[in-house]
Amino acid sequence: MAADPFRETAFAKINLALHVRKRRDDGYHELETLFAFVDAGDELVVAPADRDSLIVYGEFSGALDCGDNIVEHALALLPRQDHWAVSLDKRLPVAAGLGGGSADAGAIFRLVERLHGLPDDWASLAAGLGADVPACVRSRAALGLGTGTELVEVSNDLAGAPVLLVNPRVPLPTGPVFRGWDGLDRGPLPSGDLRTIAMHGRNDLEPGAIALVPAIADVLGWLGQSGAWLARMSGSGATCFALYADAAARDAAAADVPAAWWHCAGNLR
């Protein structure tokens, strides 16, 4: 059965590694990061309408502001032959290091691409919405350079790898985490395939994020004892991820996640 052309998943983004190299004069940071995507996330449905509109529902809908939402900004940017009523089932926590809003915008770009085609300058339009948006449009593993908008292909030997996402249900805005970076350049990402870079990389934002939300250390400690071969914070937090050798190990860990924490089990794309 063909996929519904009017429905799209906003795949959760994780940073398998994130190296901060320097502060830039424009206020941003020079990054080297390894993007990967989980086969689960928010769900968007569009329908033809007289004007563009957005309805948000779901577990984390209360954290979003309709009327000033990145989905609406994406709709306004992209040329289409009709207007859309968009329904967004907000399943991913907000301010969580999963690229939630960027992933939602990326899903809109893919819907427009499927139904109308994208303009030649789609990548610059996406970057104008946020540094993670170009990666989220493609939702494929890639290296992100500069502020994260410069994408480089990488050998993806982790496609299908079982993954568990865990968040302590504490929102953590990106800005304060980056401001808490200690300014030390600890070196570039290693080279190699996805597994090699992930194994030998790091997340330079973890210490600053833990200082703001100590529960992140609790999540990482728990995941480290769950049978995972890698556990790390994603992006600016507070969500952490763990990778497992097989689905049975992931599912056993998911069944034991403390009830107070949000979690999502899936596979890398």
On the question of pLDDT at 25 being above 80, the answer is yes
Which residues belong to the active site? Answer: 13, 132
| Domains of the chain: residue spans and CATH | 7-153 (3.30.230.10), 162-267 (3.30.70.890)
The mean pLDDT of the chain is: 96
When pLDDT is cut at 50, 70 and 90, the band that residue 5 belongs to is confident
Q: How far is CA 262 from the centre of its chain?
A: 16
Q: Quote the pTM value.
A: 0.95
When pLDDT is cut at 50, 70 and 90, the band that residue 3 belongs to is confident
Average pLDDT rounded to a whole number, residues 146-161? 97
Average pLDDT rounded to a whole number, residues 130-152? 97
CA 126 – CA 45 distance, rounded (Å): 20
On the question of pLDDT at 1 being above 60, the answer is no
User: How many helices (DSSP H) and strands (DSSP E) are in the chain?
Assistant: 9, 10
Whether the ω angle into residue 238 lies within 30 degrees of 0, i.e. cis, is: yes
pLDDT tens readout for residues 198-221: 999 999 999 999 999 999 999 999
